[in-house]
């Protein structure tokens, strides 16, 4: 009996470990894929793989899904505004004959004086959407994918469903710089179910064991050895001393340590999500969001120079010599000026010295929105590091982003050469050498 019980408990334990292991491995892989695609605020994370729901055929939708993920997710989601508008319902708002030229070259559509385009452009703070070297068919497939997501969108926003929770979570995770998406949640649920099943299993085994004991105890034909075994109490101390159990505990502990070690090694230099407390409770949400102050009003050099400067106290005084003069937080600005000492803001983003990053190249020349790299700053009370700022992050974007070459004579010849040799592939930053080591390393 004793050995039967302890043997089953080993099996149960082993089974449990195996299941827990596979569940967490699954968790880890989903997290990894999500990070690879770049965490976009909310959006597609909760959505299930495309099914042929919206009429178009599955292959077309799948192609559209892939194209959308590699070209559009930085700025668009189906159901919410990211940098550009939510694209849900776009095929009802606009005919495909408008959408195709728009995606190919939105600036041209705006310049043509198209009422809708001009209004859209102005409503979005005159941000120019980059041009895409996609074919008509590719753009149609993206639209088919968007349409297929719309049905799921209503399901997700329609009520207190799991889909709803998953989207909200996706957003939180994005905000925390993490990457747990809908899929990660399923792994968690699976794990909980497994644990419950195992507990039920163990309880059942104990009940069976007790029943057998009772039944056997009633029998008269047992010999001395059987009775001895029967009357033996379950030997916890023996289990504790058992070399097998000690072995298992040892192995588990070693694996846990190894896992923690690998995690911390992988995370060296990775400061995504970093959100230090600042000396003055300055809120981007209040200034850039509610009061809609332009980023460059304070970060004056961001379109002109390598570095986006942090505003000096004088810039604050343009307003705060009048506004909220009695606030203790604002008095800290006055004190800094009286003492002729700069406010000691804590730096959030910091690349290592070996890497070269230039803001004007990206914001002015490349036309990339601040939010693409810094996230929804206009909603942040306290700024945090939204993107991983790893080399892989820089390079992925360079591989995927078409160069904003329109109206830039410098690129005319290069584009012509590229199109001649390699018509199908869009002219991306990396086609122009943006993945060469020396571009980013001194
Ligand atoms: C760098 C950001 C960015 C990327 C990448 C981007 N867009 Fe846009 N998109 C915008 C902005 C901003 C607008 C709003 C119009 C404007 O300001 O020019 C917009 C508008 C649109 C509109 C019109 C929306 C409406 O409500 O009428 C469509 C359609 C569209 N984009 C499709 C796409 C597709 C398809 C892709 C991928 C191939 C894409 N966009 C990639 C930024 C982007
Ligand atoms: C009223 C002035 C003001 C405006 C407007 C403003 N910022 Fe800032 N920003 C600051 C100050 C002050 C800091 C330093 C304190 C902090 O980190 O909160 C800062 C910090 C930052 C940082 C972190 C810098 C670091 O330490 O790495 C980023 C990124 C940033 N701002 C982006 C933006 C973007 C994007 C916008 C527009 C949507 C914007 N800011 C609008 C004043 C401003
Ligand atoms: C363009 C005008 C403008 C500039 C520049 C500006 N602010 Fe403000 N600030 C405001 C407004 C408007 C409010 C909101 C006042 C209110 O709530 O009534 C505000 C509120 C604040 C508050 C909250 C005060 C409180 O107690 O509620 C702080 C702190 C603050 N600003 C700090 C700064 C700092 C630091 C700078 C410089 C980096 C700065 N502001 C630059 C307009 C500005
Ligand atoms: C292509 C990605 C990208 C875009 C677009 C971008 N930034 Fe940055 N930003 C970075 C990186 C990377 C750093 C860290 C730079 C470093 O440590 O040298 C940074 C740092 C900053 C800082 C800290 C000061 C500095 O220069 O190190 C501020 C402030 C800032 N960004 C504001 C902005 C604003 C405002 C915009 C939009 C006008 C913007 N950024 C657009 C990637 C970007
Ligand atoms: C969101 C997309 C995006 C991210 C993220 C990004 N870049 Fe870029 N980068 C661009 C685009 C687009 C251009 C091309 C601008 C142009 O010249 O038209 C560019 C150009 C450059 C160039 C000039 C390349 C050349 O051929 O001259 C350098 C250097 C560069 N990036 C460095 C970086 C570094 C370092 C990082 C990471 C810290 C980074 N970039 C992250 C989009 C990005
Ligand atoms: C688009 C910009 C970009 C390009 C191109 C690029 N790097 Fe990097 N690299 C970075 C950034 C940013 C970092 C720092 C971020 C980090 O440590 O993850 C970095 C870090 C490194 C590091 C230090 C790694 C560490 O963990 O400290 C090495 C080594 C390196 N790069 C080698 C290369 C080589 C070799 C190439 C050419 C094949 C290359 N890089 C091309 C942006 C780039």
- What confidence score (pLDDT) does residue 423 get? 61
- What confidence score (pLDDT) does residue 298 get? 93
Going from the Cα of 362 to the center of ligand 3, the distance in angstroms, rounded, reads 28
- Reduced to 3 states (helix: H, G, I; strand: E, B; else coil), residue 231 is helix
Structural domain containing residue 223: 2-26+195-266
The larger pLDDT score, comparing residue 363 to residue 182, is at 363
Residue 27 tokens, joined: 């968790």
Q: Binning pLDDT at 50, 70 and 90, where does residue 197 land?
A: very high
Going from the Cα of 434 to the center of ligand 5, the distance in angstroms, rounded, reads 7
- Section 364-384 average pLDDT: 91
Residue 144 tokens, joined: 């088919």
Assess whether the C-beta atom of 370 lies below 6 angstroms from ligand 5.
no
Going from the Cα of 131 to the center of ligand 1, the distance in angstroms, rounded, reads 9
CATH number at residue 120: 1.10.760.10
Going from the Cα of 355 to the center of ligand 6, the distance in angstroms, rounded, reads 7
pLDDT of 161 higher than 70: no
CA-proximal residue: ligand 4, atom 27 (nearest) = 307
The larger pLDDT score, comparing residue 188 to residue 254, is at 254
Measure the CA angle with vertex 13, ends 11 and 14; round to 5°: 65
Nearest bound ligand to the CA of residue 354: 6
Look at 162-176, 233-247, 325-339 and tell me which has the smallest mean pLDDT.
Answer: 162-176
Query: Is residue 20 located within the same domain as residue 45?
Result: no
pLDDT in tens, 267-300: 666 677 788 889 999 999 999 988 889 999 999 9
Query: Is residue 167 located within the same domain as residue 206?
Result: no
For the chain, the domain total comes to 2
- Reduced to 3 states (helix: H, G, I; strand: E, B; else coil), residue 287 is helix
Q: Binning pLDDT at 50, 70 and 90, where does residue 26 land?
A: very low
Going from the Cα of 101 to the center of ligand 1, the distance in angstroms, rounded, reads 12
pLDDT of 99 higher than 90: yes
CA-proximal residue: ligand 2, atom 18 (nearest) = 383
- What confidence score (pLDDT) does residue 267 get? 63
Distance separating alpha carbons of residues 211 and 228, to the nearest angstrom: 17
The mean of the pLDDT values for the chain is 77
Q: How far is CA 312 from the centre of its chain?
A: 33
Give the residue from 266, 297, 325 where a domain finishes: 266
- What confidence score (pLDDT) does residue 287 get? 93
Look at 23-32, 239-248, 324-333 and tell me which has the smallest mean pLDDT.
Answer: 23-32
Query: Is residue 56 located within the same domain as residue 80?
Result: yes
Distance separating alpha carbons of residues 306 and 310, to the nearest angstrom: 13
Is-above-0.95 flag for pTM?
no
Is 357 domain-assigned? Answer: no
Residue 82 in contact with residue 40, Cβ under 8 Å? yes
Query: Is residue 157 located within the same domain as residue 220?
Result: no
The larger pLDDT score, comparing residue 266 to residue 91, is at 91
Select from 357, 441, 442 the residue to mutate for testing ligand 6; criterion: most ligand atoms less than 8 Å from CB.
Answer: 441
pLDDT in tens, 38-56: 333 333 333 333 333 344 5
Look at 237-241, 286-290, 327-331 and tell me which has the smallest mean pLDDT.
Answer: 237-241
Using CA atoms, how far residue 426 sits from 34, 71, 405, 420, in Å, is: 24, 11, 11, 12
Going from the Cα of 72 to the center of ligand 4, the distance in angstroms, rounded, reads 21
Query: Is residue 95 located within the same domain as residue 164?
Result: yes
CA-proximal residue: ligand 5, atom 36 (nearest) = 394
Nearest bound ligand to the CA of residue 349: 2
- Section 20-34 average pLDDT: 40
Is 430 domain-assigned? Answer: no
Select from 390, 391, 395 the residue to mutate for testing ligand 6; criterion: most ligand atoms less than 8 Å from CB.
Answer: 391
Is 311 domain-assigned? Answer: no
Give the residue from 147, 178, 209 where a domain finishes: 178
Give the residue from 249, 266, 283 where a domain finishes: 266
Distance separating alpha carbons of residues 53 and 123, to the nearest angstrom: 32
- What confidence score (pLDDT) does residue 151 get? 59
Q: Which atom of ligand 1 is nearest to the CA of 367?
A: 1
Distance separating alpha carbons of residues 330 and 310, to the nearest angstrom: 17
Is 102 domain-assigned? Answer: yes
Phi, psi of 428 (to 5 degrees): -95, 175
Query: Is residue 128 located within the same domain as residue 22?
Result: no
Residue 231 in contact with residue 213, Cβ under 8 Å? no
CA-proximal residue: ligand 4, atom 41 (nearest) = 370
């Amino acid at each position: 009996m004793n050995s039967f019980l302890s043997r089953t408990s080993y099996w149960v334990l082993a089974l449990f470990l195996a299941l827990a292991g596979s569940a967490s491995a699954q968790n880890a892989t989903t997290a990894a894929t999500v990070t690879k695609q770049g965490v976009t605020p909310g959006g597609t994370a909760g959505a299930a793989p495309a099914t042929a729901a919206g009429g178009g055929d599955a292959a077309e939708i799948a192609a559209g899904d892939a194209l959308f993920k590699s070209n559009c997710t930085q700025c668009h989601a189906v159901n919410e505004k990211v940098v550009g508008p939510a694209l849900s319902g776009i095929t009802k708002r606009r005919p495909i004959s408008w959408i195709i030229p728009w995606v190919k070259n939105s600036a041209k559509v705006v310049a043509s004086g198209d009422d809708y385009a001009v209004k859209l452009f102005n409503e979005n703070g005159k941000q120019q959407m980059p041009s895409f070297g996609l074919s008509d068919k590719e753009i149609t497939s993206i639209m088919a994918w968007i349409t297929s997501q719309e049905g799921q969108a209503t399901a997700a926003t329609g009520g207190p469903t799991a889909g709803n929770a998953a989207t909200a979570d996706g957003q939180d995770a994005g905000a925390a710089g993490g990457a747990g998406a809908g899929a990660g949640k399923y792994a968690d649920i699976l794990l909980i179910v497994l644990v419950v099943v195992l507990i039920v299993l163990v309880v059942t085994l104990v009940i069976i064991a007790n029943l057998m004991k009772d039944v056997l105890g009633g029998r008269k034909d047992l010999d001395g050895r059987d009775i001895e075994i029967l009357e033996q109490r379950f030997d916890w101390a023996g289990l504790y001393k058992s070399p097998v159990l000690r072995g298992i505990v040892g192995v588990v502990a070693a694996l846990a340590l190894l896992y923690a070690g690998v995690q911390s090694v992988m995370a060296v230099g990775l400061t995504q999500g970093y959100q230090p407390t600042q000396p003055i409770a300055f809120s981007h949400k209040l200034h850039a969001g509610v009061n809609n102050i332009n980023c460059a009003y304070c970060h004056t050099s961001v379109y002109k120079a390598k570095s986006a400067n942090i505003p000096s106290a004088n810039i604050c005084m343009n307003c705060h010599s009048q506004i909220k003069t009695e606030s203790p937080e604002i008095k800290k600005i006055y004190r800094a000026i009286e003492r002729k000492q700069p406010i000691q803001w804590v730096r959030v983003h910091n690349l290592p010295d070996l890497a070269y990053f230039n803001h004007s190249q990206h914001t002015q020349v490349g036309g990339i929105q601040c939010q693409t790299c810094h996230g929804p700053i206009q909603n942040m009370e306290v700024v945090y590091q939204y993107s991983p700022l790893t080399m892989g992050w820089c390079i992925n974007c360079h591989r995927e982003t078409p160069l904003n070459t329109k109206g830039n004579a410098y690129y005319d010849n290069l584009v012509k050469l590229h199109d001649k040799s390699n018509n199908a592939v869009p002219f991306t930053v990396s086609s122009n050498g943006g993945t060469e080591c020396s571009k980013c390393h001194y």
